[in-house]
Structure 1
Amino acid sequence: MAGSLTNERIKDALPRERKYWLADELNNLYVLVMPNGAKYWKFRYRYDGRSDEVTVGKPYPRMLLPAARAEARRLQVLLDGGVDPQEKKRQEKRAAKQIRANTFEAAANDWYEFRTKAWKPRTAQQVRAYLDLDLLPALGRHPLDAITTSMLADLVHKIDDRGAPDVAKKARQWLKAIFQYARAKEWTTADPVRDLHAITIINAESEPHAHIPYEELPAFLAAMKEVSASPLVKGAAYLALWTASRPGVTRTLRWSEVDLDEGLWNIKKGRDEMKRGYRHVTPLSRQAVAALKDLHRISGTFEHVFVGRNDPSKPLSDGAVKAMFERMGYAGRQTMHGLRHVVSSALNRKGYVSDHIERQLAHKDPDKIRGVYNTEPYLEDRRTMLQDWADILDSLAGEPVAILS
């Protein structure tokens, strides 16, 4: 159908049994009217002796006539310059696809899939969580070549400022690994992580491991008795204080790991949350055994001793004890990890053998301690030491600890 197109003419064009064309008088511009009523802008042309067509912009009425004509004129200029508009469009699509493939998100996800082959499930889960929480929201859509050192520094500082210095350090390591991987894949030649260390200052690790001096223990124990908190949260804090175990290992304690008759807590080699994956056996004081027997009435049917508040199939969250300490008035003064420092300082102060203390803190691989021969190092010595320590805590508190009272 010849003649100039108008918006009204296009609007009034009704669908037919078969598709048909409405032609503009200039610029090789057409409207293709489909049987379902859809209307597509097309640029129809001849190139190198053959007929072809290319879609112009969005369908009508998302693109109106003036914009369609302007795009058709651009395509005509290409054609007059010896460029096939269809091939030009294919090249632009390939370039756009390549840009998307070279984004940080694509590189990070590819690196993650590659690295998970060597990681333990717990490590993979942790890295995935921080990729999704921190790295991808900030950098995901950016092309690798567009990411600057200052962008990475801003990201690392934001993580550190929220009180997660360990995560900030890990993020810097992951960023370095991701860009190394991307360069090896020839997706980029950029290395914005190279000078990142020079412009990022991460808070000292000791800050989140704050701990009170020995002299403040009576007041701390009194505050823990009075604070309103779940027995599970209090129990996790007391167990960490009784045993000097790592926070992650303590809050993820499983019933299958404890032998209440023998008063032992057995951690197998390679256990999640256990730094360096050492095996470890902790003797449990009478106070710890009594507390665990009380807690068995609450969580004994579940896998974990300290079950999550909202989902008992999962362990206690890592912020539960922190929140309790804050309500007690010890925000910034005492952390769950800091309890290890409290115990270590107190036991050294009381004159206990340093090797016994270090073994209880799981600072050495028990399988490599000379003369051990696959037995648990200093077990009975540590049992005596931890029982003495639990009795000292009762004395400082002025009464035996009872988490269900």
Structure 2
Amino acid sequence: MAELTVVAARNAQPREKAYRIAAGKGLYLQVMPNGAKYWRQKYRFRDKSLMLAHGVFPEVSLAQARDARDDARRLLASGIDPSMQRKASKVAQQADVTNSLEAIAREWHELHKHEWSDTYAERIITAMERDIFPWLGNRAIGSIEPRDLLGRLQEIQRRGAKETAHRLRRWLSPVFRYAIIKGVAARDPAADLKGALQGIVKNNFPTITEPARIGELLRAIEGYAGTYVTRAALKLSPMLFMRPGELRFAEWSEFNLDKAEWSIPSLRMKRRKEQKANGEPHVIPLSSQAVEILQNLKPLSGAGRYLFPGERDAKRVISENTVNAALHRMGFKDEIVAHGFRHMASTALNEAGWDEDAIERQLAHKDKNKIRGTYNKAKYLAERRRMMQAWADYLDQLRDGKVKALFEAA
């Protein structure tokens, strides 16, 4: 009998009942009454007559069907049932999907996101979705080698996102460790890459530390021609040196002007999610100058929620760029940004001899020693109150051109 040709397969017409056209060595084309054509292969294994499907014609060509037939015959020659081999492959493929890097990473993220702030949790998964999953996400996590991960992270570095590459390596390491615990990976390739990525040269936020130039900045702020709300934010930024977001979202309910204190709720501080929920507020002593600024601001925004409401919508705060844009307009572009006031104050206060722990607590930096932290809370509040008043007095001196005046811890 002549072998089946592509033309013959294409021209095979349906009949009232399904029929077969032999294609050689057990392979045949089954033509259905509805015109569908299926590749099938008859074979025997352990004295049983069995059938193996190889797809639909013409999506699977004659040549491809014959290749699949030959692969099955090679398995049979090795004592392997091709049908069972196919089922095992499907199970393995399904396991690869379940144990893919993306699946395990999302599972790990879901387990731990309650430990982080919502912003931080979103930052982690967004970075992976953008820079890792499209390239390595569908790979079985146990199959990923250090070279695979290194290649992807180096691509991220080449586009200039060096810090992102380092963060992703740090975030992926616990993902692989989690996979090891689950038994779906044998090693942590991210840990093997420690020291393999280009180093990061950390640049601090631009700031000004030279007293005469600080004085020029303060005089420019005093003469700022924009809205009083923005000018108040500009004046309080160097005086209180809190994180810009903590100042922008300040609410009138957090202030006690009679006690000269600002108490920022734990939920608004830069802390871990658990610490945000259970932590104590951060108390900031207010200098007499700060109280005066707030008293002058209150008639403008005191009826609302926020100290610094937006111009278009009082239910929202000024944008994160408001203070920086004002600094640019005043001629200090690239010299200082809102966050730079923290470094400005920290440098001057440390050089003047104020207690380092009091400065760190004012900056709301985490104290890793919990016992000392509790002790510091009581001990340093009075110290910080003196420090904040001395700092405000010093800023007034610089603004007035008394650049040689130094305030020192008593």
Is the structural similarity TM-score above 0.5? yes
C-alpha displacement of 1:86: 0.9
2:108 and 2:349 map into 1 onto residues whose CA distance is: 45
Bigger Cα displacement from structure 2, 282-291 vs 348-357: 348-357
C-alpha displacement of 1:222: 7.3
Which amino acid in structure 1 is aligned with residue 206 of structure 2? A
- How many residues of Structure 1 are paired with residues of Structure 2 in the alignment? 385
Residue 42 (str. 1) matches residue 44 (str. 2)? no
Deviations 1:87-139 (A, max 9, x none): 11112222323334443223322221222354444442332233323343454
- Shift of the 181–356 alpha-carbon distance from structure 1 to 2, 3 Å rule, reads closer
What residue ranges of structure 1 are gaps of 5+ in the alignment?
A: 397-405
Residue of structure 2 in register with 1:342 after alignment: 344
2:360 and 2:349 map into 1 onto residues whose CA distance is: 10
Matching of residues 276-295 of structure 1 within 5 Å: 279-284=281-286, 285=290, 286-288=292-294, 290=296, 294=300
Which amino acid in structure 2 is aligned with residue 136 of structure 1? F
- Shift of the 10–226 alpha-carbon distance from structure 1 to 2, 3 Å rule, reads farther
Residue 384 (str. 1) matches residue 389 (str. 2)? yes
2:151 and 2:109 map into 1 onto residues whose CA distance is: 22
1:333 and 1:209 map into 2 onto residues whose CA distance is: 9
Residue of structure 1 in register with 2:96 after alignment: 99
Residue of structure 1 in register with 2:87 after alignment: 90
1:330 and 1:248 map into 2 onto residues whose CA distance is: 21
Matching of residues 133-152 of structure 1 within 5 Å: 133-137=130-134, 139-144=136-141, 145-148=143-146, 151-152=149-150
Residue of structure 2 in register with 1:29 after alignment: 27
TM-score (norm 2): 0.71
Residue 210 (str. 1) matches residue 206 (str. 2)? yes
Residue of structure 1 in register with 2:6 after alignment: 7
C-alpha displacement of 1:266: 1.8
1:37 and 1:290 map into 2 onto residues whose CA distance is: 86
Residue of structure 2 in register with 1:402 after alignment: none
Contact 1:153/1:196 (CA < 8 Å) preserved in 2?
A: no
Matching of residues 240-251 of structure 1 within 5 Å: 240-251=237-248
Residue 52 (str. 1) matches residue 50 (str. 2)? yes
1:41 and 1:306 map into 2 onto residues whose CA distance is: 71
Residue 116 (str. 1) matches residue 113 (str. 2)? yes
Contact 1:296/1:305 (CA < 8 Å) preserved in 2?
A: no
1:37 and 1:323 map into 2 onto residues whose CA distance is: 71
Task: Indicate the SS of the match to 2:41.
Answer: strand
Residue 368 (str. 1) matches residue 370 (str. 2)? no
- Shift of the 236–135 alpha-carbon distance from structure 1 to 2, 3 Å rule, reads farther
Residue of structure 2 in register with 1:181 after alignment: 178
Task: Indicate the SS of the match to 2:378.
Answer: coil
Contact 2:76/2:82 (CA < 8 Å) preserved in 1?
A: yes
Bigger Cα displacement from structure 2, 188-197 vs 87-96: 188-197
Residue of structure 1 in register with 2:128 after alignment: 131
- Shift of the 370–189 alpha-carbon distance from structure 1 to 2, 3 Å rule, reads closer
C-alpha displacement of 1:154: 6.1
Task: Indicate the SS of the match to 1:42.
Answer: strand
Contact 1:352/1:385 (CA < 8 Å) preserved in 2?
A: no
- Shift of the 392–114 alpha-carbon distance from structure 1 to 2, 3 Å rule, reads same
Matching of residues 303-318 of structure 1 within 5 Å: 316=319
1:314 and 1:61 map into 2 onto residues whose CA distance is: 64
How many percent of aligned residue pairs carry the same amino acid?
28
Contact 1:287/1:390 (CA < 8 Å) preserved in 2?
A: no
2:227 and 2:42 map into 1 onto residues whose CA distance is: 74
What residue ranges of structure 2 are gaps of 5+ in the alignment?
A: 402-410
1:23 and 1:230 map into 2 onto residues whose CA distance is: 87
Contact 1:152/1:196 (CA < 8 Å) preserved in 2?
A: yes
Bigger Cα displacement from structure 2, 99-108 vs 65-74: 99-108
- Shift of the 183–308 alpha-carbon distance from structure 1 to 2, 3 Å rule, reads farther
C-alpha displacement of 1:21: 4.2
Contact 1:208/1:332 (CA < 8 Å) preserved in 2?
A: no
1:362 and 1:181 map into 2 onto residues whose CA distance is: 33
- Shift of the 198–155 alpha-carbon distance from structure 1 to 2, 3 Å rule, reads same
C-alpha displacement of 1:82: 3.0
C-alpha displacement of 1:180: 1.8
Matching of residues 226-265 of structure 1 within 5 Å: 239-254=236-251, 256-258=253-255, 264-265=261-262
Contact 1:160/1:202 (CA < 8 Å) preserved in 2?
A: no
C-alpha displacement of 1:268: 2.4
1:48 and 1:231 map into 2 onto residues whose CA distance is: 91
Bigger Cα displacement from structure 2, 188-197 vs 230-239: 230-239
C-alpha displacement of 1:78: 2.4
- Shift of the 112–320 alpha-carbon distance from structure 1 to 2, 3 Å rule, reads farther
C-alpha displacement of 1:36: 6.3
C-alpha displacement of 1:42: 2.6
C-alpha displacement of 1:80: 4.1
1:226 and 1:160 map into 2 onto residues whose CA distance is: 44
C-alpha displacement of 1:184: 2.0
1:241 and 1:225 map into 2 onto residues whose CA distance is: 12
C-alpha displacement of 1:392: 5.2
RMSD: 4.7
